Chain A
């Protein structure tokens, strides 16, 4: 499988803090990959680098061979990379359907004159947009809540609406920042089913930041572990799970391990 997203030597500093330090990263097409790591490991910073919100001090990022660095977030979305946010950032006072419609902005070819004259092109396009919104809401299971104001939706629905809004931009790479946070195990499981379908039916590539290990292990083709801005491990989920440095990063180093002697049970 070809590599869609490729990062080389990405370094991002905030003042004296190095949030990412020379991170290399490859994402293969059609994969679901996860980035995991303790709080403050630099996962969301990594996402922000991919989506143009941060510009790293060093390194390169390419998407399907085209450089992403220096592009604005909206240009990156137009290229086919779209994301969700860790702390849900919906357009609260707009309806569910309108949220999805905003996601389509970069795919609307209309001009100002079309909007003012409401010519046939505009009417056809608008009908098409609403139909696609209906379809996407169907995919994320919010079809019957199309007219509800986004901020009134239950938490799980808001998470799914964010995914729907991102899908609306017709991305080929979807970046999801903790999509199951705050969900019950059942909701998380059904969301993972949805992600699998997106990959299988639509040929999407998905990159997750996730804390829910059961989800990560179940769904990921590939796992990357960050700690203090450095990549400490990557590979298949099961291998990463057994990696000593990963266990150390999550659980801390055993006291006796710092000394030379063997550990006791």
Chain B
């Protein structure tokens, strides 16, 4: 039974229950419209799943499945295996939050990549467990206020660094991994298109500000995302077989305060010496990203065609040819 609304063309139809200004809703709409309706979508438990499929209603105009929190990548692997068995090339796309990617979902993600499944895994990263009430995740940057990393007499927010999941994923030497965000749509568009043109496991980490959890004005979502990039805190990069092959260069690096001061989750850092020390740490982190990826240096040589080809040859096996359709 075709339940699609003939008047709504988006993969993700309007009328879902996201908060005003939700970065994840924005990102999901962008990404899925680029992918289109000829695909099978697998969701991990999280904000997107909750606000699009509440109580006998669905905003998805595509085949869509949600199982449990940890297993989206494994479910996708199973779907891909079944499609492969019958020679069907329909794309398989996972949509997970940072919880379903960095933490509880990491095992299945790793397994899916290691086995070379032809799955596009998209992580909408809002840096916390938001719909359960803003608890910290492995993706939460350090010094952030969450309900399980509250600032107090002895603490200045989350003690541990944001997990570098791109590096973890990249260490699997998968064909393609990239970071993107809602503030730079054409960059996101290029990356989705590139991901769709490649076979094998692919990974996109899309930074998606959360007005509720990050405590910023709902109309400033895009601005906040832009500043994450322009400070160097969230570099936009592409990895092929684990090697960075392109970055979005910055014309200038904005100081991290420009980003922090828009968000209540960092407010405590401006109220004490200890907090200000953490701001310096965050600045150092941003500077490290800038240096590591050469964000201010447009002339820095990246990987050459030859070196990427060599890696592809070395780690090859991902680009398995599709079986021909059986009849």
Q: Do A and B come from one complex?
A: no
